[in-house]
Amino acid sequence: MTGMLTRRLPDCRPLLADPGDLTLVFQPIVDLARARVAGYEALSRFPGTAGPEVWFTAAADAGIAAELEALALHKALAAVPDLPPDTFLTVNVGPHLLDTRPVQEAFATRPDLRRVVVELTEHAPVHDLAALRVQVAALRARGALVALDDTGSGWSGLQQLAALRPQLVKLDRSLVAGVDSDPVRLALAEMVGEFAGRIDAWLLAEGIETRGELAAFCRLGVPLAQGWLLGRPAAGFAPLAPDVAALVRGHTARARTASTVASLLRPVRQCEVTEASPGVPPVVLVGPQGEPLALRLADPRTGLAHTAPVSLRAHPTDDVAATLQRALTRSPAQRFDPVVCTDAAGAVLGLLRVEDLASAAAAR
Protein backbone atom coordinates (compact mmCIF):
# COMPACT_ATOMS: atom_id res chain seq x y z
CA MET A 1 0.00 0.00 0.00
CA THR A 2 2.84 2.40 0.83
CA GLY A 3 4.45 1.74 -2.53
CA MET A 4 1.18 2.43 -4.37
CA LEU A 5 0.77 5.71 -2.47
CA THR A 6 4.35 6.78 -3.24
CA ARG A 7 3.86 6.23 -6.97
CA ARG A 8 0.82 8.49 -6.98
CA LEU A 9 2.62 11.36 -5.24
CA PRO A 10 4.70 13.87 -7.22
CA ASP A 11 8.49 13.79 -7.07
CA CYS A 12 9.61 16.75 -4.96
CA ARG A 13 13.33 16.41 -5.44
CA PRO A 14 13.52 18.48 -8.67
CA LEU A 15 12.02 21.40 -6.71
CA LEU A 16 15.06 21.50 -4.46
CA ALA A 17 17.34 21.53 -7.51
CA ASP A 18 15.28 24.24 -9.26
CA PRO A 19 13.65 26.33 -6.49
CA GLY A 20 12.04 28.63 -9.06
CA ASP A 21 9.29 26.05 -9.58
CA LEU A 22 7.94 26.80 -6.10
CA THR A 23 6.13 30.13 -6.10
CA LEU A 24 4.22 32.07 -3.46
CA VAL A 25 0.85 33.79 -3.38
CA PHE A 26 -0.44 36.01 -0.60
CA GLN A 27 -3.97 36.00 0.82
CA PRO A 28 -5.15 39.06 2.76
CA ILE A 29 -6.10 38.92 6.44
CA VAL A 30 -8.69 41.59 7.17
CA ASP A 31 -9.17 43.77 10.23
CA LEU A 32 -12.98 43.70 10.41
CA ALA A 33 -13.31 46.73 12.69
CA ARG A 34 -11.39 48.99 10.30
CA ALA A 35 -12.21 47.29 6.97
CA ARG A 36 -8.58 47.16 5.91
CA VAL A 37 -5.88 44.58 5.32
CA ALA A 38 -4.01 43.81 8.55
CA GLY A 39 -1.68 41.19 7.10
CA TYR A 40 -1.16 38.45 4.54
CA GLU A 41 -0.62 34.71 4.62
CA ALA A 42 2.13 33.31 2.41
CA LEU A 43 0.87 30.23 0.54
CA SER A 44 2.96 27.88 -1.59
CA ARG A 45 2.09 26.97 -5.17
CA PHE A 46 3.61 24.11 -7.19
CA PRO A 47 3.76 23.00 -10.84
CA GLY A 48 0.83 21.03 -12.20
CA THR A 49 -2.63 20.57 -10.78
CA ALA A 50 -1.79 18.92 -7.45
CA GLY A 51 -2.44 21.10 -4.39
CA PRO A 52 0.13 22.10 -1.77
CA GLU A 53 -1.05 19.39 0.64
CA VAL A 54 -0.16 16.72 -1.93
CA TRP A 55 3.33 18.14 -2.45
CA PHE A 56 4.10 18.44 1.26
CA THR A 57 2.79 14.91 1.81
CA ALA A 58 5.05 13.70 -0.98
CA ALA A 59 8.01 15.50 0.59
CA ALA A 60 7.35 13.82 3.93
CA ASP A 61 7.07 10.45 2.20
CA ALA A 62 10.40 11.07 0.46
CA GLY A 63 12.10 12.19 3.68
CA ILE A 64 12.63 15.80 2.57
CA ALA A 65 9.76 17.50 4.42
CA ALA A 66 12.09 19.87 6.25
CA GLU A 67 13.92 20.85 3.05
CA LEU A 68 10.69 21.69 1.20
CA GLU A 69 9.28 23.57 4.17
CA ALA A 70 12.54 25.52 4.46
CA LEU A 71 12.41 26.45 0.77
CA ALA A 72 8.90 27.90 1.14
CA LEU A 73 9.88 29.66 4.37
CA HIS A 74 13.01 31.18 2.79
CA LYS A 75 10.95 32.65 -0.07
CA ALA A 76 8.31 34.00 2.31
CA LEU A 77 10.83 35.72 4.58
CA ALA A 78 12.46 37.32 1.53
CA ALA A 79 9.12 39.04 0.80
CA VAL A 80 8.85 40.76 4.21
CA PRO A 81 10.62 43.99 3.12
CA ASP A 82 7.95 44.45 0.40
CA LEU A 83 5.02 44.36 2.85
CA PRO A 84 2.73 47.42 2.79
CA PRO A 85 3.00 49.63 5.89
CA ASP A 86 1.31 48.44 9.08
CA THR A 87 0.83 44.86 7.88
CA PHE A 88 2.31 41.52 8.88
CA LEU A 89 3.10 38.28 7.05
CA THR A 90 2.20 34.83 8.36
CA VAL A 91 4.45 31.92 7.39
CA ASN A 92 3.47 28.29 7.93
CA VAL A 93 5.77 25.89 9.76
CA GLY A 94 5.07 22.40 11.03
CA PRO A 95 5.94 22.35 14.74
CA HIS A 96 7.60 18.95 14.33
CA LEU A 97 9.99 20.56 11.81
CA LEU A 98 10.74 23.74 13.73
CA ASP A 99 14.00 22.48 15.21
CA THR A 100 15.34 20.86 12.02
CA ARG A 101 18.49 22.25 10.48
CA PRO A 102 16.95 23.33 7.12
CA VAL A 103 14.13 25.27 8.83
CA GLN A 104 16.52 26.87 11.32
CA GLU A 105 18.82 27.92 8.47
CA ALA A 106 15.85 29.47 6.65
CA PHE A 107 14.95 31.49 9.74
CA ALA A 108 18.59 32.56 10.05
CA THR A 109 18.33 34.40 6.71
CA ARG A 110 16.23 37.04 8.51
CA PRO A 111 17.48 37.72 12.05
CA ASP A 112 14.84 40.44 12.60
CA LEU A 113 11.46 38.68 12.65
CA ARG A 114 9.32 41.69 13.45
CA ARG A 115 6.19 41.82 11.23
CA VAL A 116 6.44 38.03 10.87
CA VAL A 117 3.81 35.69 12.36
CA VAL A 118 5.03 32.11 12.62
CA GLU A 119 1.94 29.98 12.08
CA LEU A 120 2.27 26.53 13.63
CA THR A 121 0.27 24.08 11.55
CA GLU A 122 -1.27 21.07 13.24
CA HIS A 123 -0.90 18.31 10.67
CA ALA A 124 1.39 16.29 12.93
CA PRO A 125 1.30 15.70 16.70
CA VAL A 126 3.75 17.39 19.02
CA HIS A 127 5.34 14.91 21.42
CA ASP A 128 7.65 17.31 23.30
CA LEU A 129 5.68 20.40 24.17
CA ALA A 130 8.40 21.69 26.51
CA ALA A 131 10.96 21.69 23.68
CA LEU A 132 8.47 23.45 21.40
CA ARG A 133 7.97 26.18 24.01
CA VAL A 134 11.72 26.81 24.02
CA GLN A 135 11.81 27.05 20.21
CA VAL A 136 8.81 29.40 20.19
CA ALA A 137 10.43 31.59 22.86
CA ALA A 138 13.55 31.92 20.67
CA LEU A 139 11.44 33.15 17.75
CA ARG A 140 9.62 35.63 19.96
CA ALA A 141 12.93 36.96 21.22
CA ARG A 142 13.74 37.89 17.62
CA GLY A 143 10.46 39.80 17.23
CA ALA A 144 8.15 37.16 15.76
CA LEU A 145 4.56 36.63 16.80
CA VAL A 146 3.16 33.11 17.05
CA ALA A 147 -0.11 31.74 15.69
CA LEU A 148 -1.83 28.39 16.07
CA ASP A 149 -3.47 27.18 12.87
CA ASP A 150 -6.78 25.30 12.51
CA THR A 151 -7.74 25.67 16.17
CA GLY A 152 -10.63 23.38 16.96
CA SER A 153 -9.33 20.27 15.20
CA GLY A 154 -6.37 17.92 15.61
CA TRP A 155 -3.63 18.38 18.18
CA SER A 156 -4.11 22.10 18.66
CA GLY A 157 -6.47 21.88 21.64
CA LEU A 158 -6.92 23.95 24.73
CA GLN A 159 -3.84 22.42 26.36
CA GLN A 160 -1.58 23.61 23.53
CA LEU A 161 -3.22 27.04 23.54
CA ALA A 162 -2.54 27.37 27.25
CA ALA A 163 1.03 26.10 26.95
CA LEU A 164 2.19 28.14 23.95
CA ARG A 165 0.17 31.33 24.56
CA PRO A 166 -0.02 32.33 20.86
CA GLN A 167 -0.75 35.93 19.92
CA LEU A 168 -2.99 34.77 17.06
CA VAL A 169 -5.50 31.90 17.11
CA LYS A 170 -6.88 30.75 13.75
CA LEU A 171 -10.31 29.17 13.94
CA ASP A 172 -10.58 25.92 11.99
CA ARG A 173 -12.60 26.05 8.77
CA SER A 174 -14.84 23.27 10.11
CA LEU A 175 -16.12 25.76 12.73
CA VAL A 176 -16.45 28.59 10.21
CA ALA A 177 -18.43 26.89 7.41
CA GLY A 178 -22.14 27.48 7.89
CA VAL A 179 -21.68 29.16 11.26
CA ASP A 180 -24.53 31.57 10.48
CA SER A 181 -27.05 28.70 10.36
CA ASP A 182 -25.57 26.35 12.97
CA PRO A 183 -25.91 27.43 16.63
CA VAL A 184 -23.53 24.67 17.77
CA ARG A 185 -20.71 25.92 15.52
CA LEU A 186 -21.48 29.47 16.61
CA ALA A 187 -21.25 28.51 20.29
CA LEU A 188 -17.96 26.67 19.71
CA ALA A 189 -16.51 29.65 17.83
CA GLU A 190 -17.59 31.95 20.65
CA MET A 191 -15.97 29.62 23.20
CA VAL A 192 -12.65 29.60 21.33
CA GLY A 193 -12.84 33.37 20.98
CA GLU A 194 -13.41 33.80 24.71
CA PHE A 195 -10.46 31.55 25.50
CA ALA A 196 -8.28 33.49 23.05
CA GLY A 197 -9.25 36.71 24.80
CA ARG A 198 -8.32 35.26 28.18
CA ILE A 199 -4.77 34.55 26.97
CA ASP A 200 -4.57 37.99 25.27
CA ALA A 201 -4.63 36.57 21.73
CA TRP A 202 -6.43 37.69 18.57
CA LEU A 203 -8.97 35.31 17.01
CA LEU A 204 -8.90 34.90 13.23
CA ALA A 205 -11.83 33.27 11.42
CA GLU A 206 -10.27 31.42 8.47
CA GLY A 207 -12.07 30.35 5.31
CA ILE A 208 -14.98 32.83 5.21
CA GLU A 209 -16.76 32.26 1.91
CA THR A 210 -20.30 33.63 2.37
CA ARG A 211 -21.84 36.89 3.52
CA GLY A 212 -23.73 35.04 6.22
CA GLU A 213 -20.49 33.73 7.72
CA LEU A 214 -18.99 37.22 7.62
CA ALA A 215 -22.05 38.69 9.34
CA ALA A 216 -21.94 36.05 12.08
CA PHE A 217 -18.32 36.75 12.94
CA CYS A 218 -18.89 40.50 12.87
CA ARG A 219 -21.67 40.01 15.41
CA LEU A 220 -19.33 37.92 17.57
CA GLY A 221 -16.77 40.74 17.48
CA VAL A 222 -14.05 38.57 15.94
CA PRO A 223 -11.23 41.00 15.06
CA LEU A 224 -9.64 39.24 12.06
CA ALA A 225 -10.97 37.26 9.11
CA GLN A 226 -9.64 35.58 6.00
CA GLY A 227 -11.28 33.80 3.07
CA TRP A 228 -12.25 33.94 -0.57
CA LEU A 229 -15.12 36.34 0.14
CA LEU A 230 -12.60 38.89 1.42
CA GLY A 231 -9.75 38.28 -0.99
CA ARG A 232 -8.29 35.42 -2.96
CA PRO A 233 -4.58 34.58 -2.95
CA ALA A 234 -2.63 36.79 -5.36
CA ALA A 235 0.95 37.10 -6.60
CA GLY A 236 1.48 40.40 -4.77
CA PHE A 237 0.27 42.23 -1.68
CA ALA A 238 -3.11 43.37 -2.97
CA PRO A 239 -5.18 45.93 -1.04
CA LEU A 240 -8.75 45.22 -0.02
CA ALA A 241 -11.08 45.67 -2.99
CA PRO A 242 -13.40 48.70 -2.56
CA ASP A 243 -16.56 46.60 -2.79
CA VAL A 244 -15.23 44.17 -0.18
CA ALA A 245 -14.28 47.05 2.12
CA ALA A 246 -17.80 48.45 1.79
CA LEU A 247 -19.26 45.01 2.54
CA VAL A 248 -17.15 44.66 5.68
CA ARG A 249 -17.96 48.18 6.86
CA GLY A 250 -21.68 47.52 6.41
CA HIS A 251 -21.66 44.30 8.43
CA THR A 252 -19.45 45.84 11.12
CA ALA A 253 -21.68 48.90 11.45
CA ARG A 254 -24.76 46.70 11.88
CA ALA A 255 -22.98 44.59 14.47
CA ARG A 256 -21.55 47.52 16.42
CA THR A 257 -23.79 48.29 19.37
CA ALA A 258 -23.46 49.80 22.80
CA SER A 259 -22.18 46.44 24.03
CA THR A 260 -18.72 47.03 22.53
CA VAL A 261 -15.89 49.01 24.12
CA ALA A 262 -15.39 51.27 21.07
CA SER A 263 -17.59 54.02 22.51
CA LEU A 264 -15.63 54.04 25.80
CA LEU A 265 -12.22 54.76 24.29
CA ARG A 266 -10.30 57.66 25.79
CA PRO A 267 -7.41 59.25 23.85
CA VAL A 268 -3.94 58.89 25.32
CA ARG A 269 -0.47 60.24 24.58
CA GLN A 270 2.16 57.85 23.30
CA CYS A 271 5.91 58.13 23.86
CA GLU A 272 8.87 56.03 22.87
CA VAL A 273 9.91 53.83 25.78
CA THR A 274 13.45 55.26 25.48
CA GLU A 275 12.33 58.86 26.14
CA ALA A 276 13.70 60.19 29.42
CA SER A 277 10.67 62.37 30.26
CA PRO A 278 7.42 60.84 28.97
CA GLY A 279 5.36 63.68 30.41
CA VAL A 280 2.21 63.88 32.52
CA PRO A 281 0.40 60.53 33.02
CA PRO A 282 -1.37 58.67 31.63
CA VAL A 283 1.05 57.81 28.84
CA VAL A 284 1.50 54.63 26.82
CA LEU A 285 5.17 53.78 26.33
CA VAL A 286 5.60 52.17 22.92
CA GLY A 287 8.35 50.23 21.15
CA PRO A 288 9.94 50.76 17.73
CA GLN A 289 6.89 49.40 15.88
CA GLY A 290 4.39 51.35 17.98
CA GLU A 291 3.55 48.34 20.13
CA PRO A 292 2.48 49.11 23.73
CA LEU A 293 5.19 48.08 26.19
CA ALA A 294 4.25 49.82 29.44
CA LEU A 295 2.01 52.46 31.03
CA ARG A 296 3.04 55.62 32.83
CA LEU A 297 0.32 56.20 35.45
CA ALA A 298 -0.32 58.44 38.44
CA ASP A 299 -1.15 56.91 41.82
CA PRO A 300 -4.75 58.02 42.60
CA ARG A 301 -3.90 58.58 46.29
CA THR A 302 -0.49 60.25 46.15
CA GLY A 303 -0.40 61.55 42.59
CA LEU A 304 3.10 60.14 42.14
CA ALA A 305 3.92 58.82 38.68
CA HIS A 306 4.94 55.20 38.26
CA THR A 307 5.46 52.71 35.43
CA ALA A 308 3.12 49.72 35.15
CA PRO A 309 3.06 46.79 32.73
CA VAL A 310 0.46 46.48 29.98
CA SER A 311 -1.56 43.83 31.80
CA LEU A 312 -4.49 43.71 29.37
CA ARG A 313 -5.21 44.68 25.78
CA ALA A 314 -8.58 44.88 24.07
CA HIS A 315 -9.95 45.38 20.55
CA PRO A 316 -12.59 48.06 19.81
CA THR A 317 -15.15 45.34 19.01
CA ASP A 318 -14.67 43.49 22.31
CA ASP A 319 -17.72 43.12 24.52
CA VAL A 320 -17.94 45.52 27.50
CA ALA A 321 -18.91 42.88 30.06
CA ALA A 322 -16.30 40.39 28.86
CA THR A 323 -13.56 43.04 28.93
CA LEU A 324 -14.59 44.12 32.42
CA GLN A 325 -14.44 40.52 33.60
CA ARG A 326 -10.96 40.09 32.13
CA ALA A 327 -9.85 43.34 33.78
CA LEU A 328 -11.14 42.35 37.22
CA THR A 329 -9.48 38.93 37.11
CA ARG A 330 -6.01 40.50 36.82
CA SER A 331 -3.65 40.49 39.77
CA PRO A 332 -4.62 42.95 42.53
CA ALA A 333 -1.73 45.28 41.70
CA GLN A 334 -2.99 45.85 38.15
CA ARG A 335 -6.72 45.18 38.57
CA PHE A 336 -7.78 48.80 38.14
CA ASP A 337 -5.09 49.90 35.70
CA PRO A 338 -6.41 51.14 32.33
CA VAL A 339 -6.88 48.62 29.52
CA VAL A 340 -4.90 49.40 26.36
CA CYS A 341 -7.06 49.26 23.25
CA THR A 342 -5.22 48.35 20.03
CA ASP A 343 -6.09 47.54 16.45
CA ALA A 344 -5.31 44.22 14.77
CA ALA A 345 -1.82 45.39 13.85
CA GLY A 346 -1.05 46.24 17.49
CA ALA A 347 -1.24 50.05 17.14
CA VAL A 348 -2.56 51.89 20.21
CA LEU A 349 -6.02 53.42 19.76
CA GLY A 350 -6.64 54.63 23.30
CA LEU A 351 -7.29 53.59 26.90
CA LEU A 352 -10.29 52.04 28.62
CA ARG A 353 -10.90 52.94 32.26
CA VAL A 354 -12.20 50.13 34.45
CA GLU A 355 -14.68 52.57 35.99
CA ASP A 356 -16.14 53.31 32.55
CA LEU A 357 -16.39 49.61 31.76
CA ALA A 358 -18.19 48.96 35.03
CA SER A 359 -20.66 51.80 34.45
CA ALA A 360 -21.41 50.66 30.91
CA ALA A 361 -21.84 47.03 32.00
CA ALA A 362 -24.24 48.07 34.79
CA ALA A 363 -26.32 50.13 32.36
CA ARG A 364 -26.95 47.19 30.03
Instruction: State the pLDDT at residue 18.
Output: 66
Question: What is the reported pLDDT for 123?
Answer: 62
State how far the Cα of 35 lies from the Cα of 38, in Å rounded to an integer.
9
pLDDT, position 363: 62
Closest to 191 in 3D by CA, of 203, 182, 181, 180: 203
pLDDT tens string 9-53 = 666 666 665 667 889 999 999 999 999 999 999 999 988 777 788
Report how far apart, in Å, the C-alpha atoms of 148 and of each of 29, 92, 93, 281 are.
15, 10, 10, 36
Question: Looking at residue 150, what is its pLDDT?
Answer: 65
Instruction: Name the CATH superfamily, with its identifier, for domain 263-363.
Output: CBS-domain (3.10.580.10)
Show pLDDT as tens, one digit a residue, over the chain (364 residues). Answer: 334 334 456 666 666 656 678 899 999 999 999 999 999 999 999 887 777 888 888 888 888 889 999 999 999 999 999 999 999 999 999 988 999 999 999 999 999 999 999 999 866 667 788 888 999 999 999 999 999 886 655 444 666 777 888 999 998 888 899 998 888 888 888 888 888 888 888 999 999 999 999 999 998 889 999 999 999 999 999 999 999 999 999 998 877 665 788 878 899 999 998 887 778 899 999 988 888 999 999 988 888 999 999 999 998 888 888 999 999 999 998 999 999 999 877 889 999 999 989 888 876 5
Per-residue pLDDT, 346? 83
Number of H helices and E strands in the chain, helices first, is 13, 15
Domain ranges of the chain: 15-259, 263-363
pTM beyond 0.75 = no
What is each CA distance from 350 to 54, 269, 270, 338, in whole angstroms?
A: 46, 8, 9, 10
| Crossing angle of the two packed helices 211-220 and 183-198, in degrees rounded to 10 | 40
Architecture of the 15-259 domain: Alpha-Beta Barrel (3.20)
Candidates 149, 96, 144; CA nearest to 119 is 149
* Count, residues in the chain: 364
Say how far apart CA 251 and CA 317 lie, in whole Å.
12
SS3 content of the chain, % helix, strand, coil (to 5): 40, 25, 35
**What gap in Å lies between CA 347 and CA 132, rounded to an integer?**
29
